[in-house]
Structure 1
Amino acid sequence: MVLEAVIFDMDGVLVDSEGFWAQAELDVFSSYGVQVTEDLASLTRYMTTREVTEFWYNRFPWGELDIPSVEQQVITRVIELIRSDNCTMPGIEDLIRRFKNKAYKIGLATNAPLQVAEAVLEKLEVRHLFDAVHSAESEVQGKPHPAVYLTAARKLGVSPEQCIAIEDSYSGLKAAKDAGMKTAVFTNDNEDIHFDIADFKIMNFKETRLPEFSL
């Protein structure tokens, strides 16, 4: 089947922002008496923001402030860090434009809240190039469940088999694969990353050529 759409993950693909989440969670949760340890934090790496907030609350219940309010504080802090830091993945804006110029539909499927996704696309100045932006906050389950990708494909008006997803994690690749999509793993020049589940490998965006994806 001919591929008609490219769907990007966000954290670790469009922007190098994973450290921002760790910093924001440490800043916010610690202020409510949560003892954020590296071992426990590693368990939350691929959770949605709501799941992460519930995770810490269940272990270190704080006062009267509800979970959604604390979650929003984390989101606000992440957006602040994204806007103030040079975190854009080199070459990503040009790659998105090249896909768009080839008439492919462009989508975003992320576990991050929609507020953060919109802030990232605004920072990259590419929001107008995206035909669909979807967050797992609107789904019952985030990645590695395929729901966020299935909905993104539906919003793009194409079948999952007509999409290729660009991801940087096994969790994201599994979500896209289970949705029935082709996948490309972005390694950011890390030669030690090997995911057999991926159909393609992208070392960096500056040297990526569209024909390599057989699009």
Structure 2
Amino acid sequence: MLEHTKAVIFDLDGTLVDSMWVWTAIDEDYIRKYHLNPPEDFHEAMEGMSYTETAQYFLKIFPELPHTVEEIKKEWYDMSVDKYTKEVTLKPGVKEFLEMLKEKEIRTGIATSNDRKLVEEFLKARQITHLFDTICTSCEVNKGKPAPDVYLKAAGQLGAEPSACLVFEDVPMGILAGKNAGMRVCAVDDWFSRPQDAKKRELADYFIHSYEDITNQTYEVL
């Protein structure tokens, strides 16, 4: 999998960390707080959106909200930062895999739809900031996933051609973003996206249940 790879770029939520439960809980708390009535395709419609795009989506479908995009983003940050720094955990084998990549001098980055400050706080709390060479967020590019923008920006900052990059993603929209960027993509098992496993396997080049599958050579080639 790592042959001819110059850079490895990771999505964050559901890929590097078990955190999708945080956003489900925050969505439910936020909806309850403001007495909102979300549409049936609520979570599906938001898949791949940047932090800013998601806030804009909220204002579009809930015009009764008395807030700006920045106010919504700030409230979500305040609701999530404690959970990210104290409760969210790395997926099994992640730290060992990152350390292996450093030993092999393969550069590493994060390309996420999440908030930059939240990502930085999480990495700091887990003492793994030094294991990443760059962080890019979808709020810093023109379009969120499945557009390739955030992955192309990360590749540029890592000094690697897209064809020499390997992406790790947990949802179809993210996998598409990596493929649209001309990169190889490894799909990562996560409870939140498990109902989409067939689609993930259809789109990706590899599939892992754990990062230990890479060191054990038990990953799936699709």
Tell me, yes or no, whether TM beats 0.5.
Answer: yes
**Larger mean Cα displacement after TM superposition, 71-80 or 182-191:** 182-191
Q: Is the 8 A contact 1:99 1:210 kept in 2?
A: no
Q: Quick one: which amino acid aligns to residue 197 of structure 2? A: I
**Larger mean Cα displacement after TM superposition, 27-36 or 104-113:** 27-36
1:152 aligned partner:
154
Q: How far apart in 2 are the matches of 1:121 and 1:79?
A: 12
Q: Is the 8 A contact 2:15 2:168 kept in 1?
A: yes
Indicate whether 1:60 and 2:66 are aligned: no
1:198 corresponds to which of 191, 196, 204: 204
Pair 1:63–1:40, CA change in 2 (3 A) = closer
**Which blocks of at least 5 consecutive residues in structure 1 are unaligned?**
none
Pair 1:122–1:182, CA change in 2 (3 A) = same
2:43 corresponds to which of 31, 41, 44: 41
1:164 corresponds to which of 142, 163, 166: 166
Q: Which structure shows the higher helix fraction? A: 2
Q: How far apart in 2 are the matches of 1:47 and 1:17?
A: 16
Q: 1:67-116 CA distances to partner (integer Å, 9 max, x unpaired)?
A: 21112111221222222314321211111111111110011111111112
2:214 corresponds to which of 204, 208, 214: 208
RMSD in angstroms over aligned alpha carbons?
A: 2.5
| Count of aligned residue pairs for this structure pair | 214
* 1:147 shift after superposition: 0.3
Pair 1:183–1:84, CA change in 2 (3 A) = same
TM-score scaled by length of structure 1:
0.88
Q: Is the 8 A contact 2:169 2:185 kept in 1?
A: yes
Pair 1:38–1:83, CA change in 2 (3 A) = farther
* 1:129 shift after superposition: 1.4
Q: Is the 8 A contact 1:28 1:73 kept in 2?
A: no
Q: Is the 8 A contact 1:33 1:62 kept in 2?
A: no
**Larger mean Cα displacement after TM superposition, 38-47 or 167-176:** 38-47
Q: How far apart in 2 are the matches of 1:192 and 1:150?
A: 25
Pair 1:68–1:192, CA change in 2 (3 A) = closer
**Larger mean Cα displacement after TM superposition, 33-42 or 49-58:** 33-42
* Structure 1 stretches of at least 4 aligned residues deviating more than 4 Å after TM superposition: 188-192, 210-214
Q: Is the 8 A contact 2:13 2:20 kept in 1?
A: yes
Pair 1:197–1:10, CA change in 2 (3 A) = same
Q: 1:7-52 CA distances to partner (integer Å, 9 max, x unpaired)?
A: 1110101111112112223323432332246542332233222222
Pair 1:55–1:191, CA change in 2 (3 A) = closer
1:28 corresponds to which of 27, 30, 45: 30
